[in-house]
Protein backbone atom coordinates (compact mmCIF):
# COMPACT_ATOMS: atom_id res chain seq x y z
CA UNK A 1 0.00 0.00 0.00
CA UNK A 2 1.52 3.38 -0.97
CA UNK A 3 2.31 5.81 1.85
CA UNK A 4 -0.17 8.64 2.26
CA UNK A 5 1.60 11.82 1.20
CA UNK A 6 -0.90 14.07 2.94
CA UNK A 7 -1.69 12.57 6.37
CA UNK A 8 -2.86 15.87 7.88
CA UNK A 9 -5.23 16.45 4.99
CA UNK A 10 -6.65 12.95 5.46
CA UNK A 11 -7.05 13.55 9.18
CA UNK A 12 -8.92 16.81 8.55
CA UNK A 13 -11.26 15.02 6.12
CA UNK A 14 -12.05 12.44 8.80
CA UNK A 15 -12.75 15.20 11.32
CA UNK A 16 -15.06 16.87 8.77
CA UNK A 17 -16.87 13.56 8.29
CA UNK A 18 -17.17 13.02 12.03
CA UNK A 19 -18.66 16.46 12.63
CA UNK A 20 -21.13 15.97 9.77
CA UNK A 21 -22.11 12.54 11.06
CA UNK A 22 -22.59 13.67 14.65
CA UNK A 23 -24.69 16.63 13.46
CA UNK A 24 -26.89 14.38 11.33
CA UNK A 25 -27.35 11.38 13.62
CA UNK A 26 -26.22 12.50 17.06
CA UNK A 27 -23.04 11.28 18.71
CA UNK A 28 -24.52 8.35 20.62
CA UNK A 29 -26.38 6.93 17.60
CA UNK A 30 -23.40 7.27 15.26
CA UNK A 31 -20.91 4.48 14.59
CA UNK A 32 -17.44 4.49 13.09
CA UNK A 33 -18.98 2.98 9.94
CA UNK A 34 -21.35 5.95 9.73
CA UNK A 35 -18.35 8.26 9.85
CA UNK A 36 -16.56 6.20 7.17
CA UNK A 37 -19.61 6.54 4.94
CA UNK A 38 -19.13 10.33 5.02
CA UNK A 39 -15.38 10.18 4.37
CA UNK A 40 -15.63 10.57 0.57
CA UNK A 41 -13.99 7.32 -0.40
CA UNK A 42 -11.52 7.00 2.48
CA UNK A 43 -11.51 3.59 4.13
CA UNK A 44 -12.12 2.33 7.64
CA UNK A 45 -8.39 1.59 7.71
CA UNK A 46 -7.71 5.29 7.17
CA UNK A 47 -9.98 6.10 10.10
CA UNK A 48 -8.18 3.73 12.48
CA UNK A 49 -4.79 4.92 11.26
CA UNK A 50 -5.59 8.36 12.69
CA UNK A 51 -8.08 7.62 15.49
CA UNK A 52 -8.45 4.71 17.88
CA UNK A 53 -12.16 5.28 18.47
CA UNK A 54 -15.20 7.47 17.91
CA UNK A 55 -14.46 9.08 21.26
CA UNK A 56 -10.94 10.07 20.19
CA UNK A 57 -12.39 11.57 17.02
CA UNK A 58 -14.75 13.68 19.13
CA UNK A 59 -11.76 14.97 21.10
CA UNK A 60 -10.17 16.12 17.84
CA UNK A 61 -13.42 17.82 16.81
CA UNK A 62 -13.60 19.68 20.15
CA UNK A 63 -9.99 20.82 19.82
CA UNK A 64 -10.53 22.09 16.27
CA UNK A 65 -13.68 24.01 17.24
CA UNK A 66 -12.00 25.74 20.17
CA UNK A 67 -8.84 26.67 18.29
CA UNK A 68 -10.78 27.98 15.29
CA UNK A 69 -13.09 30.02 17.52
CA UNK A 70 -10.72 30.95 20.33
CA UNK A 71 -12.25 34.22 21.61
CA UNK A 72 -9.13 35.18 23.55
CA UNK A 73 -7.09 35.25 20.34
CA UNK A 74 -9.78 37.36 18.66
CA UNK A 75 -9.53 40.16 21.22
CA UNK A 76 -5.82 40.01 22.01
CA UNK A 77 -4.76 42.68 19.50
CA UNK A 78 -7.59 45.13 20.22
CA UNK A 79 -5.67 48.21 21.35
CA UNK A 80 -8.86 50.00 22.40
CA UNK A 81 -9.41 47.59 25.31
CA UNK A 82 -7.46 47.04 28.51
CA UNK A 83 -6.70 43.54 29.79
CA UNK A 84 -9.87 43.18 31.85
CA UNK A 85 -12.05 44.49 29.02
CA UNK A 86 -10.48 41.98 26.63
CA UNK A 87 -11.40 39.13 28.99
CA UNK A 88 -14.98 40.41 29.23
CA UNK A 89 -15.21 40.70 25.45
CA UNK A 90 -13.73 37.21 24.96
CA UNK A 91 -16.32 35.71 27.30
CA UNK A 92 -19.13 37.50 25.47
CA UNK A 93 -17.86 36.19 22.13
CA UNK A 94 -17.65 32.69 23.57
CA UNK A 95 -21.19 32.78 24.96
CA UNK A 96 -22.58 34.13 21.68
CA UNK A 97 -20.66 31.53 19.65
CA UNK A 98 -22.08 28.67 21.68
CA UNK A 99 -25.59 29.95 20.98
CA UNK A 100 -25.08 30.43 17.23
CA UNK A 101 -22.51 27.86 16.06
CA UNK A 102 -23.90 24.49 14.93
CA UNK A 103 -20.67 22.76 15.89
CA UNK A 104 -21.02 23.92 19.50
CA UNK A 105 -24.52 22.41 19.56
CA UNK A 106 -22.96 19.03 18.79
CA UNK A 107 -20.65 19.38 21.78
CA UNK A 108 -23.53 20.33 24.07
CA UNK A 109 -25.53 17.33 22.88
CA UNK A 110 -22.76 14.84 23.61
CA UNK A 111 -21.72 16.32 26.95
CA UNK A 112 -24.15 14.35 29.09
CA UNK A 113 -23.55 11.18 27.08
CA UNK A 114 -19.84 11.28 27.87
CA UNK A 115 -20.00 12.52 31.46
CA UNK A 116 -18.97 9.07 32.72
CA UNK A 117 -16.26 8.46 30.12
CA UNK A 118 -12.80 8.35 31.77
CA UNK A 119 -11.06 8.98 28.44
CA UNK A 120 -13.13 12.03 27.52
CA UNK A 121 -13.01 13.42 31.06
CA UNK A 122 -9.19 13.14 31.06
CA UNK A 123 -8.99 14.77 27.65
CA UNK A 124 -11.31 17.58 28.77
CA UNK A 125 -9.19 18.34 31.82
CA UNK A 126 -5.92 18.28 29.88
CA UNK A 127 -7.29 20.40 27.06
CA UNK A 128 -8.77 23.01 29.38
CA UNK A 129 -5.56 23.18 31.38
CA UNK A 130 -3.43 23.56 28.26
CA UNK A 131 -5.44 25.80 25.94
CA UNK A 132 -7.69 27.61 28.42
CA UNK A 133 -4.84 28.56 30.73
CA UNK A 134 -2.53 29.46 27.84
CA UNK A 135 -5.22 31.64 26.26
CA UNK A 136 -6.30 33.67 29.29
CA UNK A 137 -2.91 34.09 31.02
CA UNK A 138 -1.54 36.81 28.67
CA UNK A 139 -4.72 38.86 29.04
CA UNK A 140 -4.61 38.62 32.82
CA UNK A 141 -0.94 39.64 32.79
CA UNK A 142 -1.89 42.59 30.58
CA UNK A 143 -4.68 43.54 32.99
CA UNK A 144 -2.30 43.45 35.93
CA UNK A 145 0.14 45.60 33.99
CA UNK A 146 -2.42 48.26 33.04
CA UNK A 147 -4.09 48.24 36.47
CA UNK A 148 -7.50 46.95 35.37
CA UNK A 149 -6.99 43.74 37.39
CA UNK A 150 -6.27 44.26 41.09
CA UNK A 151 -4.30 41.10 41.80
CA UNK A 152 -0.63 40.46 41.10
CA UNK A 153 -0.83 36.67 40.92
CA UNK A 154 -1.55 36.03 37.24
CA UNK A 155 -0.92 32.29 37.46
CA UNK A 156 -3.43 31.71 40.26
CA UNK A 157 -6.06 33.88 38.56
CA UNK A 158 -5.59 32.06 35.25
CA UNK A 159 -5.91 28.64 36.85
CA UNK A 160 -8.98 29.74 38.82
CA UNK A 161 -10.57 31.19 35.69
CA UNK A 162 -10.20 27.89 33.83
CA UNK A 163 -11.53 25.84 36.75
CA UNK A 164 -14.59 28.05 37.20
CA UNK A 165 -15.63 28.44 33.56
CA UNK A 166 -14.42 25.24 31.94
CA UNK A 167 -14.92 22.75 34.76
CA UNK A 168 -17.28 23.96 37.48
CA UNK A 169 -19.74 25.54 35.04
CA UNK A 170 -19.78 22.40 32.87
CA UNK A 171 -23.18 20.70 33.08
CA UNK A 172 -21.66 17.43 31.82
CA UNK A 173 -19.32 17.32 34.84
CA UNK A 174 -21.69 18.88 37.40
CA UNK A 175 -25.29 18.26 36.26
CA UNK A 176 -28.00 20.55 37.54
CA UNK A 177 -31.07 22.52 36.60
CA UNK A 178 -31.45 26.07 35.31
CA UNK A 179 -31.67 27.56 38.80
CA UNK A 180 -28.45 25.84 39.82
CA UNK A 181 -26.67 27.14 36.69
CA UNK A 182 -27.78 30.70 37.47
CA UNK A 183 -26.50 30.46 41.05
CA UNK A 184 -23.13 29.17 39.84
CA UNK A 185 -22.83 31.98 37.29
CA UNK A 186 -23.48 34.59 39.98
CA UNK A 187 -20.98 32.87 42.29
CA UNK A 188 -18.31 32.94 39.57
CA UNK A 189 -18.70 36.70 39.16
CA UNK A 190 -18.47 37.18 42.93
CA UNK A 191 -15.41 34.95 43.33
CA UNK A 192 -13.50 36.69 40.55
CA UNK A 193 -14.51 40.12 41.85
CA UNK A 194 -13.18 39.15 45.28
CA UNK A 195 -9.93 38.11 43.57
CA UNK A 196 -9.61 41.54 41.94
CA UNK A 197 -10.96 40.68 38.49
CA UNK A 198 -14.44 42.17 38.14
CA UNK A 199 -15.66 40.81 34.79
CA UNK A 200 -19.36 41.48 35.45
CA UNK A 201 -21.39 43.95 33.44
CA UNK A 202 -25.05 44.09 32.35
CA UNK A 203 -24.36 42.77 28.84
CA UNK A 204 -22.48 39.80 30.28
CA UNK A 205 -25.40 38.99 32.57
CA UNK A 206 -27.91 39.25 29.71
CA UNK A 207 -25.85 36.99 27.45
CA UNK A 208 -25.26 34.52 30.26
CA UNK A 209 -28.94 34.27 31.14
CA UNK A 210 -29.84 33.79 27.46
CA UNK A 211 -27.28 31.00 27.17
CA UNK A 212 -28.64 29.30 30.32
CA UNK A 213 -32.23 29.61 29.04
CA UNK A 214 -31.27 28.00 25.72
CA UNK A 215 -29.25 25.27 27.43
CA UNK A 216 -32.23 24.17 29.54
CA UNK A 217 -34.96 24.39 26.88
pLDDT tens digit sequence for 85-97: 999 999 999 888 7
The mean pLDDT value for 25-51 works out to 93
Average confidence (pLDDT) over 56-77: 87
pLDDT of residue 99 exceeding 70: no
Which are the contacts of 118, defined by CB distance < 8 A and separation ≥ 6? none
Same domain? 73 vs 29: no
Q: Percentage of residues in the chain with pLDDT exceeding 70?
A: 86
**pLDDT class of 112 with cuts at 50, 70, 90:** low
- What is the C-alpha separation between 131 and 129, in angstroms, rounded? 6
**Residue 47 falls inside a structural domain:** yes
Contact 137, 154 (CB under 8 A): yes
Radius of gyration over alpha carbons of the chain, in Å?
A: 19
115 and 137 together in one domain: yes
Q: Are residues 107 and 163 located together in one domain of the fold?
A: yes
Those residues whose C-beta lies under 8 Å from the C-beta of residue 92, and which sit 6 or more positions away, are 71, 203, 204, 207
CATH number at residue 119: 1.10.357
138 falls in which pLDDT band (50, 70, 90)?
Answer: very high
> Are the beta carbons of 101 and 69 closer than 8 angstroms?
yes
> What is each CA distance from 65 to 1, 77, 104, 167, in whole angstroms?
33, 21, 8, 18
Same domain, 23 and 100: no
* 44 shares its domain with 145: no
Using 50, 70 and 90 to split pLDDT, how confident is the model at 149? very high
How much is the mean pLDDT over the chain?
86
Higher pLDDT, 28 or 190: 190
Q: Judge if 37 and 70 occupy the same domain.
A: no
- 185 in the same domain as 113: yes
Nearest by Cα to 35 from 6, 58, 62: 58
Q: Is 188 among the domain residues?
A: yes
- Say which CATH number the domain at 22 has: 1.10.10
Q: Decide if 1 is inside a domain.
A: no
- What residues make up the domain containing 43? 7-51
Residues 61-97: b if buried by 16+ CB within 10 A, e if exposed: bbebbbeebbbbeebeeeeebbbbbbbbbbbbbbbeb
- What is the number of structural domains in the chain? 2
> Are residues 192 and 113 both part of a single domain?
yes
- Pair (44, 81) in one structural domain: no
- The answer to whether 15 and 57 have CB atoms below 8 angstroms apart is yes
Amino acid sequence: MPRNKYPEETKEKIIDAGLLTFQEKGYEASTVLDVVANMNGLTRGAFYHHFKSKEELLSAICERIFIANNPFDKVAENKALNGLQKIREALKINISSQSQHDAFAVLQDVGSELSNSPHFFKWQMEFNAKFGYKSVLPLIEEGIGDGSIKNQDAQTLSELFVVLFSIWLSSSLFPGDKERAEKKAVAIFEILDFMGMNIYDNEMEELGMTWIDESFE
